[in-house]
Amino acid sequence: MSRASTLEAALAVVPPEAGLGGAKIRALLHGYHARWSDSGYRPVQVEKVLHSPLWNPATGRRSRKLRIAGKVDLLAELDGALVLVDHKATSEDISDPASPYWRQLIVEGQLSHYLLLLWLNGVKADYAVWDVVRKPAISPRQLTKGERSSLSSTRCWFSQEFPSDEIDKALQTGRETDALYQARLRHDCTVERPQWYFQRRTIPRLDAEIHEYATELWDHGQEIVQIRRTGRHVRNSGACLIYGGPCKFLGICSGHDEPDSANWQRSAWVHPELPPLEGDGRGILTNSRIRTFQTCRRKHYLQYELGIERLEEEEREALVFGSLWHDTMEAYFNAMRGEANGNCTTADSVSEVECGAVARS
């Protein structure tokens, strides 16, 4: 598969009905490909689900009630090193390496969670990389008189030629169509400001740091088991309005709704980011679950212990964007992996890193 075909595989994931959101993703994919296609990564495994028993690092004791799991976005080889890569999308500044966004990611536990899972499955990654895309801040805009005249005569917008019906639509409304906006955004993130949109940062993790995370994970697990016994799921009122909007359980916590009302249903599997592994998932610790537990014990109870979800819940734009971007990255690196590995198939065990990659013990 050629480099162009790798890009086409990712573009094909974006549904035609995605509208403006789809235009943003397509433009960013072109920019991402232009910035990183020659970076040298050889994908080894893509979107690999890992799970393991939960161990106490101090005693070697295995938990009888809890396991750990997670999905690794990308495991790749680069210059002989085995690299864990995680994709992220944000609205924050990523061009400045000293920005708060990067300072927070230095201490973020997600990479430690995945590095620990790899280690417990027999693979020692050499280091980890955050692969971050910044969501566009520009939107479709009105056309100036000069731009309308140029469009009418050249039928081009930011070096891309468009069919007459697309141009006519823009001229009639006096505003960029989604397709024209996509062309401008593509030019911006590919030619004008690629560093504003795309950054990668290497995050080393010492063995001692992974060991410390494993200890913290065990402690969180013990807290969860203890809270199950006491039934004391303490609310954190400071977390009700974080992440850009009200917590989805705010109605329940404030007494305006009940878990057993017609607005809610019980989840058959409480980890939507993972395929079902065993049971209902209430005995599995993921990075998302640990972050929820750290944020609010009551939210953790409702989401992962009681296991309720809204029957009709409108997804926030940020979550939709992030989910679609992950889908395109999965397609992109699967296509790249197919190009590099020919007919090689993914081994069922992550410790059997395929096609020449060496597992670190």
What CA–CA distances, in Å, run from 18 to 22, 179, 343?
5, 12, 33
pLDDT bucket at 32, cuts 50 / 70 / 90: very high
Could you tell me if 143 and 149 are in contact, meaning their C-beta atoms sit under 8 angstroms apart?
no
How much is the pLDDT for 346? 38
CATH architecture entry for 3-137+194-206+315-341: Alpha-Beta Complex (3.90)
How much is the pLDDT for 314? 62
- Please write the tens of the pLDDT for every residue from 1-16: 456 789 999 999 999 9
Q: Which amino acid is at 229?
A: R
Q: Is the pLDDT of residue 105 over 70?
A: yes
Angle (nearest 5°) at CA 81 between 80 and 83: 140
Mean pLDDT for 262-284 is 94
- Please write the tens of the pLDDT for every residue from 14-29: 999 999 999 999 999 9
Q: Is the pLDDT of residue 360 over 50?
A: no
How much is the pLDDT for 243? 76
How much is the pLDDT for 315? 61
Query: Where are the domains positioned within the chain?
Result: 3-137+194-206+315-341, 212-310
- What is the share, in percent, of the chain residues with pLDDT greater than 90? 85
Q: Is the pTM of this model over 0.95?
A: no
- Please write the tens of the pLDDT for every residue from 60-78: 999 999 999 999 999 999 9
Structure tokens at 98: 């000293």
pLDDT bucket at 209, cuts 50 / 70 / 90: very high
What is the C-alpha to C-alpha distance for residues 190 and 29, in angstroms, rounded to an integer?
10
Q: Is the pLDDT of residue 279 over 70?
A: yes
The mean predicted confidence, pLDDT, of the chain is: 91
Distance between alpha carbon 147 and the CA centroid of its chain, in Å? 37
